[in-house]
Structure 1
Amino acid sequence: MAGEGKPDGGWAAAAGEGVMLPASMVLVQLFSVVLVLLSKLALGAGMRPFALLAYRNLVGAVAVAPLAFVFERKHRKIPGIVEWCWISLNATFGVILSMGLYYYGLQSTSATYSVIFLNMIPIVTSIVATIFRVEKLVLRNWPGKAKLLGIITCVGGTMVVSFYKGKLLHHPWPSHLLKFHSHDESGPHAYHRNMVAGTLFLCGSCLGYAFWFIIQVRLAKVFPSRYWATTLTCLSGSLQAFVIGILINPTKSVWTIKWNLQLLTVVYSGVFNTGVSFVLMSWAVKHRGPIYPSMFNSLSLIAMVIMDSVLLGTSIFLGCILGTSFIIVGLYAFLLGKGTELKQAAAVQNTDNKQDNRDGTEQRGDEILRSIA
């Protein structure tokens, strides 16, 4: 009877993990949707992007620091000059460029339009990594062809969303529930100018994220404590955002946070999108690999199309639906190819490790025989 309990317990644990893992990733996407909506409202109400960025990362550092003290108590250390350089560089690309440019793009465009570019980050990262020869795009096998097809489809979908509106679609739900008005739009010419500038900001944000992911690989080698590195990156990013924000606009009122939507956005983004989401995504990557969290990105895109229309009154056009569909199909084609490549690389590495162990065992056996002789 005792021996039968273990398989049952293992099955129950596997079943629970099979439910909790996708549920946690859906929760992460929900956090992202709410954050984008709150950020759009806060920026539309007059909050400056670098003020939001500075306070958000300060709260994020406070949220992640306890995890570093609990899980990395024995491995935590004061970084040296080289480690500090990589942490500062990580903050520059991961906070200032990626998030900062994203907030400016979100301020000039719509929530739905900005989330489309968030879904393009894995594609842009792969292109940048291929250009700098961090990874290879092999077209001789089907995973490489699937990645290329996904890249082309995603880029095409983004171009459809950006340059083609099409017919205005009528939806059955009530819209504009939050009565949101952006005081930046003063006519069709201003709107077009904002969209062009916003698109450039969002493209720059994607590039910032791409370089950030590549830098994180190097940072993990020189400073492997993930929670401690995240805490220090948030602090460094917050400091950089304060300096840049004050140089842009030193007015005291810009940096004053009151008990309103701005404070809610700061606290929510720091706790949930930096703290809780980081833990959930780390757990998912540990059990399912680095591709697993990206597989749920389409949920935030679909949810944002609906919520942006319901809450903020953003019109839905046929071009948005077609382009979004292309992006989702292309993203999954790319992730399928990328995931297969990672599995093949892991299988080759396991084979090499087994061969090395076998060679080492044979060598030790020969040494024992020679010593006996």
Structure 2
Amino acid sequence: MFVFSLLCYRSILGAVFILPFSLLLESGKWKELDKNALGWLFVNAFVGYSLPMALYYNGLHDTTASFGVIFSSLTPLFTFVLSILLGMENLHLKSKEGGAKVVGALVCFGGALLISLYNGKELHLWSPVIQCITKSSNGVVGGHHHLRGTLLLLGECIRYAFSYPVLVKVLKVYPWKHWSSMLTCVLGGFQTCAIGILMRRDKLAWQVGWNIQLLTIVYSAALGTSAKYWLNLYAVEKRGPVFQPMFNTLSVVFTMVLGALLLGESLTVGSLLGSAVVFSGLYMYLYGKAKELHVTMTSGSSNEKLQCLGMSLRKYSS
């Protein structure tokens, strides 16, 4: 299927899915949309959807499902460094919670690399469910331009890392999550449609039948676009730009198992060891983040108590 027609359809359909929630839960909030907020939503749609998804789909075409999702584990590391440089994330290496966050991010990255670089003994625990559909004529799952696909996936990873700080800015200028998600989907659909028309104008590229193409569009629109945008905004609002990307490392584990179960990709000792490392690193990061939030809340309540005590003393002395 033509990549940009898929992106266009799933984005517009994703906006349709979110619109009822926007009208019901955030009624009238669209009136607060101004040029500044619209500009940031346009940037968010381009950086967080149109460009990275185009890179991802084309990179996935040249590699395999498991290899493609491994690069999602690089996103939290890039996002973590970028957030520190932009002042959105605090780095306290001397504290226990700060050290746990840094070590956890590095361990997650190391676990993903272990899955990617070390194979070990292959484990054939089951037969692939749709092996006959996904394998090519030479019996190999995936494409043949591995280097090109790797570069495209790396570009997608870097672009996604920039999208999370952009989400922080979007929440500041337009804090309504449902309308933000819906408008991002609309703008992303227009962007991918415009790019797609410039590349291909034949009807075959934009034609969709009652087959797996339509199922892919509906599924990705409902969960991969509309639900994902809203959940991303919610997580960034509550825990900052690094918290949500850290969970991308779990997709390596899930895709590895599903790739072996459905597509016949190899499940190896290295992939299992790497999965254990990924889980360990994620736990360490979440531990450090929870401790950091606890310290922040404790210090905030202590400051409030001191302010109240100071006011009481001044009132008593007067």
**Same fold flag (TM > 0.5):** yes
Q: Judging changes above 3 Å, is the alpha-carbon distance between structure 1 residues 104 and 355 closer, same or farther for their aligned structure 2 residues?
A: farther
Q: Percent identity?
A: 34
Which residue is equivalent to 2:259?
Answer: 308
Which residue is equivalent to 2:297?
Answer: 346
> Residues 114 and 274 of structure 2 are in contact (CA less than 8 Å); yes or no, is this contact kept in structure 1?
yes
- Written as runs of structure 1 = structure 2, the 5 A alignment for 1:1-373 is 47-77=1-31, 79-167=33-121, 169-181=122-134, 194-276=145-227, 300-355=251-306
- Provide the aligned C-alpha RMSD in A: 3.3
Q: Judging changes above 3 Å, is the alpha-carbon distance between structure 1 residues 289 and 144 closer, same or farther for their aligned structure 2 residues?
A: closer
In structure 2, what is the Cα distance between the partners aligned to 1:48 and 1:181?
Answer: 18
Q: Secondary structure at the match of 2:148?
A: helix
Structure 2 residue ranges without an equivalent (≥5)? none
> Residues 112 and 308 of structure 1 are in contact (CA less than 8 Å); yes or no, is this contact kept in structure 2?
yes
Give CA-to-partner distance per residue, 1:239-276, whole Å, 9 cap, x none: 11111222233332111111111111111111233344
1:176 deviation in Å?
4.5
> Residues 167 and 236 of structure 2 are in contact (CA less than 8 Å); yes or no, is this contact kept in structure 1?
no
- Which amino acid is the alignment partner of residue 53 of structure 1? L
In structure 1, what is the Cα distance between the partners aligned to 2:130 and 2:138?
Answer: 22
In structure 2, what is the Cα distance between the partners aligned to 1:52 and 1:64?
Answer: 18
In structure 2, what is the Cα distance between the partners aligned to 1:259 and 1:50?
Answer: 19
In structure 1, what is the Cα distance between the partners aligned to 2:251 and 2:223?
Answer: 15
Mean Cα deviation higher: 247-256 or 227-236: 247-256
> Residues 50 and 100 of structure 1 are in contact (CA less than 8 Å); yes or no, is this contact kept in structure 2?
yes
1:218 deviation in Å?
0.8
1:97 deviation in Å?
2.7
In structure 2, what is the Cα distance between the partners aligned to 1:345 and 1:107?
Answer: 45
Q: Secondary structure at the match of 1:173?
A: coil
> Residues 295 and 332 of structure 1 are in contact (CA less than 8 Å); yes or no, is this contact kept in structure 2?
no
> Residues 63 and 274 of structure 1 are in contact (CA less than 8 Å); yes or no, is this contact kept in structure 2?
no
- Which amino acid is the alignment partner of residue 296 of structure 2? A
Q: Judging changes above 3 Å, is the alpha-carbon distance between structure 1 residues 150 and 292 closer, same or farther for their aligned structure 2 residues?
A: closer
Q: Judging changes above 3 Å, is the alpha-carbon distance between structure 1 residues 198 and 104 closer, same or farther for their aligned structure 2 residues?
A: same
TM-score by length of 2: 0.84
Structure 1 residue ranges without an equivalent (≥5)? 1-46
Q: Judging changes above 3 Å, is the alpha-carbon distance between structure 1 residues 214 and 279 closer, same or farther for their aligned structure 2 residues?
A: closer
1:315 deviation in Å?
1.8
The structure having more radius of gyration, on CA atoms, is: 1
- Which amino acid is the alignment partner of residue 165 of structure 1? N
> Residues 64 and 274 of structure 1 are in contact (CA less than 8 Å); yes or no, is this contact kept in structure 2?
no
Give CA-to-partner distance per residue, 1:289-332, whole Å, 9 cap, x none: 56886786565443322221121111223333333332332222
Q: Secondary structure at the match of 1:180?
A: helix
In structure 1, what is the Cα distance between the partners aligned to 2:305 and 2:29?
Answer: 30
In structure 2, what is the Cα distance between the partners aligned to 1:207 and 1:358?
Answer: 49
Which residue is equivalent to 1:6?
Answer: none
In structure 1, what is the Cα distance between the partners aligned to 2:114 and 2:65?
Answer: 17
1:208 deviation in Å?
1.8
In structure 2, what is the Cα distance between the partners aligned to 1:358 and 1:236?
Answer: 52
Give CA-to-partner distance per residue, 1:147-183, whole Å, 9 cap, x none: 222232233233333333333x132212253523365
> Residues 49 and 104 of structure 1 are in contact (CA less than 8 Å); yes or no, is this contact kept in structure 2?
yes
Mean Cα deviation higher: 274-283 or 117-126: 274-283
TM-score by length of 1: 0.73
Q: Judging changes above 3 Å, is the alpha-carbon distance between structure 1 residues 281 and 94 closer, same or farther for their aligned structure 2 residues?
A: closer
- Which amino acid is the alignment partner of residue 84 of structure 1? L
